[in-house]
A and B are shown apart, each in its own frame.
Chain A
Amino acid sequence: MRTGGWHGWSQTLADAIKLLTKEDILPSGADPVLFRLAPALVMGSALAMFAVLPFAPGIQFADLDLGIYFLLAIASLTTIGVIMAGWGSNNKWSLYGAMRGAAQAASYEIPLALSLIPPILHFGTFSLLNATEQQSGWGGMGWYVFSDAFWVAIPSFFLFLTASLAENRRAPFDLPESESELVAGFHTEYSGLRFAFFFLEEYAAMFATSAVATAYWLGGWNFPGMTLLAEGSAWLPWLGALAFLLKAMFLVCVMIWVRWTLPRLRIDQVMTLGWKYLTPLALGLMVAAAGWEAWRAMP
């Protein structure tokens, strides 16, 4: 069906309506409880991540003291949802995809968490709001990647992006749903709206990780020329939210771009990259960042 309108803006809407009108199939061999619970668990954890993102001054639903640590914990709930979907489907493709997904998520959660330690050391906080506020210097350009620790900030930024691609099961790490060998991986048996929830979660998680990268490395809502606005200007939340969304959407675009550029890795390559390259690299960056920050903070 060809829809679109101007530059295809209505395509997304048409897709949503199409998925809503598709038949809902519960395979006869599936485990009905787990099959139904998995999309709900995955959507719940995806939405819970959005509660802690600092979009703009004053626009944040929950400023947790544990911000980023909480996000890591919630992200690991998604893995449980994926195993639940794979097991509940009672389909060989699904279970295989789910097991790969869980092994991959476990392997990349370590470099992902370690790559967050340099900015935590720098800002001395888990709160995404506090970290963003500390980057407002230099007329809105005091971002972590431009700070005196830029030489550790830039590698850790790329490390975080790579590990979050794997954590979100995006190409080149999309082995859990590799369509050329496992049909659709862990959501093979999911049709219509239930499939849409897994799809939505993937993109929501991509946005959430991009938003974390924005808040910790790219200055969050801070933008150049911010100081020209009057103190407490009503424009600040709007322009701040615009800056935040532009930066986060840019990173989402990079993730989509990577998907169309790189071929999928094999499972052994994924594991080797995670444990033998990224984990030692992340440990090294952490040690370097700790030494630097401790030296800078020395009285």
Chain B
Amino acid sequence: MTGEVLAFSLFSAMAVGGAGLALFHRSAIHSAFALLASFLGVAGLYLNLGADFLAVTQVLLYAGGILVLYLFGLMLVPPEGEAPRPGRRALALVLAAAPVAIFLIAFLARSSWGDPSRLPEPEGTVRGIGLALLTPDGWLVPFEYASILLLAALVGAVHLARRSAPKDDSP
């Protein structure tokens, strides 16, 4: 049990710390790399909950895909150096997030939790996910719908990227 608490503390510190660093670091590229710590921390939290497929997917898609996308996107914009971010915006963000945080904490405090020590060691989840994706009374329709969604995302994003292409011939 203590191992689980230790792992939870480590991963949640990574997730929250990385996100905080991403928010408040002055350099945009550093913020993007700080997100790596956050993504890996969240993956660790998923793993802690026994969702192994979700955890590895988190690493594959967020750390390996979204982060590269962010970095390439940041390299599209002209480098402004280490422009200090306005401190007011951070304050506004904190004020905006505070009601959500209060609501979540109040909600969590009122929830009743089972006894986690009675749970068995989690098994691999991928077989169940695969079968659930294929059964008609399971998640078959969302599975097929996801591919249409992905198609729309691909077409839309590539179209927008093409239209906003800078005219100069930078390398």
Residues of chain A touching chain B, judged by Cβ–Cβ distance below 8 Å, are 33-34, 64-66, 69-70, 72-74, 76-77, 79-80, 83-84, 87, 96, 99, 102, 106, 109, 126
Residues of A within 8 A of B67 (CB): 80
Are A73 and B60 also in contact (CB < 8 A) when A65-B126, A66-B53, A96-B171 are? yes
CB-based A-B contact count at 8 angstroms = 58
B126 touches A66 (CB 8 A): yes
Residues of B within 8 A of A87 (CB): 29, 71
Residues of B within 8 A of A72 (CB): 60
Residues of A within 8 A of B68 (CB): 79-80, 83, 102, 106
Tell me, in angstroms, the Cα distance from A106 to B64 when the chains sit together: 9
Closest to B71 in A: A83
A76 touches B53 (CB 8 A): no
Residues of A within 8 A of B123 (CB): 65
Tell me, in angstroms, the Cα distance from A150 to B71 when the chains sit together: 41
What are 23 sample pairs from A and B whose C-beta atoms fall under 8 A apart? A34-B30, A34-B33, A64-B52, A65-B52, A65-B126, A66-B52, A66-B56, A66-B126, A69-B60, A73-B60, A73-B64, A74-B59, A76-B59, A77-B63, A77-B64, A79-B64, A79-B68, A80-B33, A87-B71, A99-B75, A102-B68, A106-B65, A126-B126
Quick one: which of B111-150 are within 8 Å of A by CB? 123-124, 126
Q: What secondary structure prevails in chain B residues at the interface with A?
A: helix
B72 at interface (Cβ–Cβ under 8 A)?
yes
B64 touches A70 (CB 8 A): no
A73 touches B126 (CB 8 A): no
B65 touches A84 (CB 8 A): no
Closest to B124 in A: A65
B36 at interface (Cβ–Cβ under 8 A)?
yes
Residues of B within 8 A of A33 (CB): 30
B56 touches A70 (CB 8 A): yes
A66 touches B33 (CB 8 A): no
Residues of A within 8 A of B64 (CB): 73, 76-77, 79-80, 109
Q: B124's contact among A66, A84, A96, A99, by CB below 8 Å, is which?
A: A66
Known: A66-B53, A76-B59, A76-B60. 9 other contacts (CB 8 A): A64-B52, A65-B52, A65-B124, A76-B63, A80-B63, A80-B64, A83-B71, A87-B29, A126-B126
Residues of A within 8 A of B36 (CB): 80
B6-40: CB near A (< 8 Å → 1, else 0) gives 00000000000000000000000110010010000
Residues of B within 8 A of A84 (CB): 33
Q: How far is the CB of A152 from chain B (nearest CB, A)?
A: 20
Q: How far is the CB of A213 from chain B (nearest CB, A)?
A: 20
Closest to B36 in A: A80
Closest to B171 in A: A96
Q: How far is the CB of B30 from chain A (nearest CB, A)?
A: 8
Closest to B60 in A: A73
Q: How far is the CB of A268 from chain B (nearest CB, A)?
A: 13
B63 touches A102 (CB 8 A): no
B83-100: CB near A (< 8 Å → 1, else 0) gives 000000000000000000
Which 5 A-B residue pairs are closest in the complex by CB-CB distance?
A76-B64, A65-B124, A73-B60, A73-B59, A73-B56
Tell me, in angstroms, the Cα distance from A99 to B60 when the chains sit together: 19
Quick one: which of B43-74 are within 8 Å of A by CB? 52-53, 56-57, 59-60, 63-65, 67-68, 71-72
| Most chain A beta-carbon contacts within 10 A, residue among B59, B75, B123 | B59
Tell me, in angstroms, the Cα distance from A83 to B30 when the chains sit together: 12
Q: B65's contact among A66, A70, A76, A99, by CB below 8 Å, is which?
A: A76
Residues of A within 8 A of B124 (CB): 65-66
